[in-house]
Structures are given as structure tokens and as C-alpha cells.
Amino acid sequence: MIHKLAHPVEKISNWATHMFIYRYRDWPYDKAKLLDSIHQETKKQKTDIDSNIAQSIKTEGLKESKFNFLEKANEYPILEKFSEFFIEALADVVMHGLPSIDNRLALPDRITQVNPVVFESWYHVTNDGGAHGVHCHPGASWAGIFYIETSGCNTETLNGVNRWYNIDSNKGPGDIGSMWWNADNCYAIKPEEGTLVLFPAWMWHEATSYIGNKDRVCIAFNSVIVDGTDEDL
């Protein structure tokens, strides 16, 4: 017979990691213009991975721009509108989203405004089995993925989905007492058009292999958050 421990017990769950999903209110009205800007840029690419970054974990079937895509608003004015949306969402996470979960995550009272800075941005156009292996974004505070074309993505078959991994998984001796650590090792999100996923940039994540009738298209970016409280003084 197995007895429960008679002594009082307290469960402590620390270090929850928070992610946020925002929905672009003018979708799908602006979809065609945004897609066109990406398709125009893919025609100019000299290689499939124009960024020349981490090519070993990006498979054939994936096209990636240089990391300055949102800076092309002079050529594609629609990019300015989406840049503003990304920045507004980042500011909302830091000023309101995190404190609403736990007031310990609130900024000091002296900070009344933040200025998110998107310092890298790129697009992915994926098909024919293209994938992006597990990675994180060092040097950034928050990262984001905005989904544009996702009609073939499927969480059940893991076709073209993003998965984020628990950084504490695969630690320890792996005996019968710790094997359960991996039960919730990853969290998959089915890409939905017109949605933005914001997550801490240190989180390990991947884009699984994708095959579909239409390309899988998204924009991703890295950001830092700076104090903007006194900028107008």
C-alpha cells in the first residue's frame, strides 16, 4: 500500500515564461500590400538566405531576407504601418501586459513611458519542406513573429508550426524520478494570419518543416526596450 506523506507540503512553481498574441485590427485589408512587398523583395534576393546568418539550421525551401526588411518603408509604405503596430504591441506588453499577470513585473514608478526599438527585421517565405531549426535570438529583449500566409499550417501534423521549448528540459540524470520534466517540453502555436506572437528573445524555438499549396509567409524581428520617460522634456 502506498501512503501519502503526512507532513504538510507546499508546491512552488517558479519562473513562468510569458508570451503574448496580438491581432492586427485591419486584417485582411492590408494583407495584399504586405504580401506584395515581400514578393517584390524575394525577386531581388541573390541567395535563399540573404542574411547569411545561421545557414546550417535553415533548410532548402526557406527564403530569408537580410535583417533590415522593415527599414524599406520608403519603397513600401505599408511597412511603416506594421512597424507602428509592432512597436505599440511591444510597449503594451511591457507597460500593461506583464504587470497584469503579476504586479512584481511592473516597471519602477519613475518609468512612465517606454520606447521599443526594432533593430532587426526579416521575412520568411517557406515551402517544399523548408524549416528553421531550434535557435534563440541573443542580444535582443523581445522577439516577434507576424503571420501573413498560413493556410497550410497544421498543429496536428506539425506542418509549418512554431514550437517554443522549455529551457529546463533535458537536465538532470534522466532517471524515473526526472523523466516527467520533458512532458511539457515544448509549446506549439498554429500560425494564424494577422496575428503577432511576442516572446522573450532568449526562448529556444523553431519553425517545423512546411509543405503546402501556398507559401508560408511571416515577418520576424528583434527588439530592445528603452526608457522613454523624459524624451519630451
Distance in angstroms (rounded) separating the CA atoms of residues 64 and 58: 9
Assigned C-alpha cell, 195: 496575428
Q: Summarize pLDDT for 149-165 with one digit per residue, the tens.
A: 999 999 999 999 999 98
pLDDT above 70 (res 113)? yes
- Can you tell me which residue has the cell 521599443? 116
Q: Is 217 left (phi over 0), alpha (psi -120 to 50) or beta?
A: beta
The C-alpha R_g of the chain, in whole angstroms, comes to 20
Domain ranges in the chain are: 20-166+182-227
CATH code of domain 20-166+182-227: 2.60.120.620
Q: Is the pTM of this model over 0.75?
A: yes
* Predicted pLDDT at 22: 96
Q: Summarize pLDDT for 53-110 with one digit per residue, the tens.
A: 999 999 999 999 999 999 999 999 999 999 999 999 999 999 998 888 787 788 888 8
Per DSSP bridges, beta strands 142-149 and 130-135 are unpaired
Q: Summarize pLDDT for 222-233 with one digit per residue, the tens.
A: 999 999 887 554
Contact 158, 212 (CB under 8 A): no
Instruction: Count, in order, helices (H) and strands (E) of the chain.
Output: 3, 10
